[in-house]
Amino acid sequence: MDSLESPSVTCNDSSTKLSDIEQEQTPQANDNSNAKAVEMVPPDGGWGWMVVAGSFLIMSVGGYTFYAFSIFLSPILMSGQVSSIKIAWIYNFNHLIWCFYAIFIGPLCEQFGTRKMAIFGGVASFLSLFLSAFAPTVDYLFFTYALPAGIGGASTFTLTFIVVSTYFKKHRGFAIGITSVGDCLSGFISPVIANYLLENYGYISATLISGALVLNQCVGASLYQPVKWHMKPSKKITVVKKESQDLVKWKKESEETDLIEKVHDIS
């Protein structure tokens, strides 16, 4: 009888140690599974399609400032003896500002957000046309057109691809393709619209109407909600969480079964 009692004490001790180990291991496993479960992924649809629509609108009307450059500014460019070199420099200066300012888009978006930066770009593009309507000479176009148009174009066009990419993973290529179609559409319709406005309203009125048209970029930019508002749990991570919990449960049951068998063997 004494020999049977001492092993039972040993079994109780081992049971106590085993339960302590389980209490230490199980929360850790659950913590790991919970940590994986909170990982979120882009919606890959949903509000992302509204973002694509907004980006399409931005590309469609935003391209007006440079696709119709030689048409809506032709009255002032052709007035007097303006050299072709100076006209080219105005357009090239616009492109220079565009490329240089694009470097700072990332840090500015982190500071102010993509929606505010896109709206700012739409307003800058509008000012490039509004101010150019009252430019007395060609030299003023370096500051009234090239500078704000370069800043506005860099802000809006760069952000369209950045924002769309953050909302999609599986359908990213398709979404960016739809956005790019807006730029192609702008290349076709902008010269036609600019020529129609000049023939019917004159230089100043046509340029002001063009500015109002370009200002619609702000409508598309207003759809740029932060992607974190629409993130969803990853399906793959959810499966991993379930498997981790099942594994912990299986280990616990198998260890309890082994312990019971040992007690029976000792008895």
- Each residue of 34-43: pLDDT tens digit? 444 556 777 7
CATH of the domain at 170: 1.20.1250.20
**pTM of the predicted model as reported, rounded to 2 decimal places:** 0.70
pLDDT at 16: 42
Q: 188 and 127 in one domain?
A: yes
Q: 259 and 138 in one domain?
A: no
In a domain, 88, yes or no: yes
CA dihedral 31, 34, 36, 37 (to 10 degrees): 180
Residue 22 structure tokens: 């389980």
pLDDT at 210: 92
Q: 241 and 156 in one domain?
A: no
Amino acid letter, residue 188: F
pLDDT at 83: 80
Concatenated DSSP letters of 24-79: HHHHHHHHHHHHHHT-EE--SSTHHHHHHHHHHHHHHHHTHHHHTHHHHTHHHHSS
Q: 142 and 117 in one domain?
A: yes
Q: 62 and 175 in one domain?
A: yes
pLDDT at 85: 85
Domain count, the chain: 2
Q: 154 and 76 in one domain?
A: yes
pLDDT at 248: 65
Q: 142 and 267 in one domain?
A: no
pLDDT at 147: 94
Q: 220 and 102 in one domain?
A: yes
All residue ranges of the chain with pLDDT < 70 are: 1-39, 80, 235-251, 256, 258-267
Q: 238 and 225 in one domain?
A: no
| Residue 232 parent element (H or E) | strand 232-233
In a domain, 164, yes or no: yes
* Residue with tokens 């393709």, as numbered in its chain: 177
Q: 241 and 122 in one domain?
A: no
**Domain containing residue 244:** 234-267
Residue 84 structure tokens: 């072709």
In a domain, 169, yes or no: yes
pLDDT at 226: 83
